[in-house]
Amino acid sequence: MNTAAAHNSPSAGILSTITHAAASSTKDRVAGFRVAFFKADLVAYFVLVLAAFLWLLIIISHCVLQRRYVKPRPFVDRPAEHYPPVTIIRPLKGLDLGLRRTLESSFRQEYPGVVEILFAVEDPDDPAIGVANELIECYPKTRARVLIGQDNVGINPKINNMMKAFAQAHSDLLWICDSNVYTDSGTLRRSVDLLLDNKRMGVIHHVVFSEAPATFGAMLDHAFLVTNHCRMYLAINAVGIASCLTGKSNIYYKSALDNVGGLAAFGHYLAEDNMIGQALWHSGWGHTMTGDLARQPADIGSLFEYCSRRIRWVRTRKYNVTLATFYEPLTESILLGALTSWALNHLYGFNVYSTFSTFLSCWFALDMLFFYRINHGSPQSWPWFAFSWICREILALPLWLVAIVGDTVTWRGQVFRFHLNGTVEVLK
């Protein structure tokens, strides 16, 4: 057959077309694989940057711990008349675990100035009134009163309960402290020292610290509060790029609160502490912390109660600090460890299992060290504490997933539904 004719035949044309198409398809697949690998590389580098940032926060938290919490801050030597009067507001509802001890800590403050204590109660038959009255009788030199009733300014029962105390407070400096919180006798003086040293400070807050867990649910909550929560709380506040506080034990200027609408302005939020902090922050008032702890007895009775509380916390934050809440799973040890192990394997060929086990071991060791130093000693049982920590870490992501898809929470017997702006309504 003529060679030229063979090349010009229809079958040769078809074969050439198929060959070119196959070659083009191969090039496309190779290009696609290269793009996919490039994207995977970018994701892997992002994961490593994120992991490095989280480890940096862990280091920062240990530095803050060393500077503030290992040794209590000494009192400033200033005349007693320089200390302003302070009103302590304690909202009460029911008999919290260890209520007498927690409330008595307000009477035992070593503060040179005048202290007024206001107990706010909704129900005249609340058994907490008896505990408060007993303490008032035991400390007759302290100005203390029980205020009964509520002003319905919103759906937040704590705000409604505190309104009468807020209106009747004799001092501009307010210390709002939950009924289940115990503080050291020097907490108030050290806090006011910070305010007097820096006139632009408008919020003094104390990190929550759980103690004496007696049930498995309480042990899980204890493991969370004294490691993950406490560690991140110290680190974020040390960085100081935004307001970050919880409402367990906070000191404010009443006049500053009035300038942002007073307590009533926050009655439509469940996370009133976060919203108050943000409002004062944006008004130019700085936040700072002493080396004191807001200690609360671990009062959770069951695993279900622990899960419910964690779901409520995450779901509440979702509508108040949305971006941080969606980012939260990436701050947990198991998920971040798994992603870091994959990234190091993908980029550098590290063994996934060895990397993951090393990552978790280091995270665990630093959390144990953190607890030992801030607690100034060992837990009741190291094996049980370690077991609780492991269970807490395993439950973190599943509970977050459950929380993130809902819009209702149950708190003190009432069901609330969130709106996109962070406010809530009571479901009848």
Catalytic residues: 273
Dig out the tokens for 102 from the structure. 């927690």
**Helix segments in 95-224, DSSP class H:** 99-107, 128-138, 157-168, 187-197, 216-223
CA distances from 209 to 62, 164, 179 (A): 16, 29, 14
- Alpha-carbon span 249 to 255, nearest angstrom: 18
**Helix segments in 272-381, DSSP class H:** 272-282, 303-318, 322-327, 333-348, 352-374
Residues with Cβ < 8 Å from 227, sequence gap 6 or more? 367, 370, 371, 389
- Alpha-carbon span 198 to 190, nearest angstrom: 13
Report the 10 Å Cβ neighbour count for 377: 8
For 121, phi and psi rounded to 5 degrees?
A: -135, 140
**Helix segments in 142-271, DSSP class H:** 157-168, 187-197, 216-223, 230-239, 254-259
CA angle 343, 346, 347 (to 5 degrees): 85
Dig out the tokens for 246 from the structure. 């919880």
